[in-house]
Amino acid sequence: MQTRRDFLRFVLAGAAASAPTNFGWAQQPGSRVRATSGDPHEPDWQQRLTVQVGPTSGDIVGRDEKAIQAAIDYVARLGGGTVELLPGTYLLRNAVWLRSRVRLTGHGLETVLTRGPSVTSPLAADSDWYDQEITIADARPFQLGDGVLLTAKSPAGGKVVLKRTLVARSGNRFKLDRPLRKNLWVSLGATVTNLFPLVTAENEAEFTIESLVLDGNRDQCANLNGNYGGCIFLQDCRSVLIRDVVARNYNGDGISIQICHDVVVERCHCHDNADLGLHPGSGSQRPILRENVLERNSIGLFWCWGVKFGLAENNRIVANKYGISIGHNDTDNVMRQNEIRANELCGVLFRDESGGRDFWPHRNRLESNRILDNGPPDGAAVDIRGPVRDLVLVGNEIRETRSPARRVGIRIGPQVGPLVLKNNQIDGFWRAVLDQRSG
């Protein structure tokens, strides 16, 4: 089992490369590796297949997800390569689905993927868990190929949330690409909305997303929770590189990764999203998040549940409600050399959690960060809550230039366990450290 010491050695040695191109093959002499049937290890080929997609020119001409998806599926079928999106604006009615060993790239700010306004309609007939169709009360805004979000109250309590695609129709009856496996009953408020992540993948590996602008048209779209969507939403993926992507204006998250391992997110700009800028979540192991700009989101960087052995370094996290939030069983992560500035409610929050015996963010390290002008007049730049233990805060510059008011540099809650505070420069506060523990 990997220990914290192993992880730090791994990070300090730079073992995580920017572009995970060989995925564990480095120990084999490249000149002697041969492409052999059934062997996942291959030579590091100098060239791979590239397919261009463009609004007016390219191997595939089009300006929607159908053209992009055709190129991705073609390249994936031939073992991988690059899909290059030429400059232009691409208007999506469904998500672009990534495949293993495919690199999706654009031309930076000149390549924009966006979407139109969302619409919602109630269902006009019940659909049971074994069905693969729905009946929409007002079907006029919907087209075949649309990505849709299906919601209802659950008969057992809670909420049903499903993502599907409309693939056939007769009048206002639509077949779905997959069965429901949940009940969607009119009496429980079942609805359909044309909501989807802009770029997504599930159960895929070794792919890249880079040099694109993803614009979620936030003002004209309903909210889609980051457990289901975002400008980028990944589920059960591994060995992924997301680089030089702008993820903006989504009514939800900018970039959300759930149960995804060895994901590198670098030089991305996540801004003006309604919820989370960057959301490593749900058991994701070893995420590396570096040189990103996260601004004007609800939370800049949100470590979700069970994220471990992650590294966040050299990021600018500015003007969000919360800068960094870390909590439920997020352990053994390092946050270093980040600029965390002008966040409304808190710079860094170690969340209090409930529901389990030991759900707190233990053994995390906050090192050499610049934490400036965060929180309200009675707030804390760094707020440590709940019975968390074994945190290390070392070498941070924590400053307040507005006014001391009743601001605190580091607030340590009454249940906090052992922690290390060392060589932190804390200036301009009413109290540099407010330790609320007795004794």
**How much is the pLDDT for 30?**
54
What is the Cα–Cα distance from 408 to 433, expressed in whole angstroms?
Answer: 6
CB 292 within 8 A of CB 269: yes
Q: Is 125 helix (H, G, I), strand (E, B) or coil?
A: coil
**How much is the pLDDT for 439?**
62
Check the CA dihedral 264-112-95-61 and report its sign: negative
Partners of 139 in beta bridges: none
Distances (CA, A) of 88 to 2, 63, 67, 107, 246: 45, 8, 13, 9, 15
**What pTM, to 2 d.p., does this model score?**
0.92
Structural domains of the chain, with CATH: 120-193 (2.40.10), 196-435 (2.160.20.10)
**How much is the pLDDT for 2?**
43
Residue 108 dihedral angles phi and psi, to the nearest 5°: 65, -135
Partners of 70 in beta bridges: none
**How much is the pLDDT for 23?**
39
46 Cβ contact list (under 8 Å, min separation 6) = none
Tens digits of pLDDT across the chain (439 residues): 445 454 444 444 443 444 444 434 344 555 678 989 888 888 888 899 999 999 999 999 999 999 999 999 999 999 999 999 999 999 999 999 999 999 999 999 999 999 999 999 999 999 999 999 999 999 999 999 999 999 999 988 899 999 999 999 999 999 999 999 999 999 999 999 999 999 999 999 999 999 999 999 999 999 999 999 999 999 999 999 999 999 999 999 999 999 999 999 999 999 999 999 999 999 999 999 999 999 999 999 999 999 999 999 999 999 999 999 999 999 999 999 999 999 999 999 999 998 778 899 999 999 999 999 999 999 999 999 999 999 999 999 999 999 999 999 999 999 999 999 999 999 999 999 999 998 6
**What token pair was written down for 284?**
């994701």
- Ranges of beta strands (E only) in 291-402 are 293-295, 299-303, 311-313, 316-318, 322-326, 334-336, 339-341, 346-350, 365-367, 370-372, 380-384, 391-394, 397-399
CB 380 within 8 A of CB 406: no
| Burial class (CB within 10 angstroms; exposed 0-12, middle 13-18, buried 19+) of 304 | buried
Q: Is 370 helix (H, G, I), strand (E, B) or coil?
A: strand
**How much is the pLDDT for 29?**
53
CB 314 within 8 A of CB 339: no
| Burial class (CB within 10 angstroms; exposed 0-12, middle 13-18, buried 19+) of 12 | exposed
